[in-house]
Amino acid sequence: MTSIILYTIFMTFTPGPNNIMSMNNAKNVGFRKGIKFNFGILVGSLFIMVLCLWFSSFLYKVVPKVQFPMKILGTLYMVYLIIKTIVPSKENKIRDNNGSFIIGALLQLINPKVILFGIMVMSSYILPNYQGVPTLILFVFSIALVGFTATLCWALFGSVFKVVFCKQKKLIDIIMVVLLLYCAISLFI
């Protein structure tokens, strides 16, 4: 149980697409307006965790075949996020797109960190050690709630330091791009 908790906390609170986008979204639109994006992430993550639970035994056998295409999709997603960070666009367009519940939920379908984390935690920690539908459902909801807490913390950080971010926009954008590049590169290491 300790391993599951530590692994889940580490994976959900470290920089990744959800956390970086949540922070950036809160910086742009504020914590309250950006919360729907975080709820979208929660719903999308719940969906992914359920899929990972149901298909973990099958996917665990074909991970070498599935892993590379997922890495490519994940890398393309992060390149898209990098471009959105670098290329100037209209503030209203950013606010409308980033704050969307639907965008937050759908992004989970191509978020390699969430998918690979779900497969790993289900196949390595949960399914070998725990049985019974109620227990497994409890794990799915618990993991998704820890992830939701992590994105809220990153969003709060983004909204609290909004003034600093506005004054240091170029530096913050560079840091976000570097973090996203790190996430993309780490998929292949």
pLDDT band at 179 (very low <50, low <70, confident <90, very high): confident
Nearest to 41 by CA among 116, 102, 117: 102
Dihedral over alpha carbons 127, 63, 70, 123 (to 10 degrees): 10
- Among residues of the chain, what percentage have pLDDT more than 90? 23
Confidence of residue 57 (pLDDT cuts 50, 70, 90): low
CA–CA dist 72, 77 (Å, integer): 9
**What DSSP string describes 141-154?**
HHHHHHHHHHHHHH
Question: What separation, in Å, do the N-terminal and C-terminal C-alpha atoms of the chain show?
Answer: 27
Domain locations along the chain: 2-8+17-186
Cα three-residue angle 169-172-178, rounded to 5 degrees = 140
pLDDT, tens digit (0-9, with 9 covering 90-100), for 75-116:
776 677 678 777 765 543 444 445 689 988 998 888 888 888
Q: Rg for the chain (alpha carbons), in Å?
A: 17
**Per-residue pLDDT, 50:** 93
Digit-coded pLDDT (tens) for 154-164: 899 888 877 77
d(CA 73, CA 71): 5
Virtual CA dihedral for 147, 42, 185, 52, nearest 10 degrees?
A: 90
pTM of the predicted structure, to 2 decimals:
0.69
For helices 2-13 and 112-120, the axis angle rounded to 10 degrees is 180
More confident residue, 43 or 16: 43
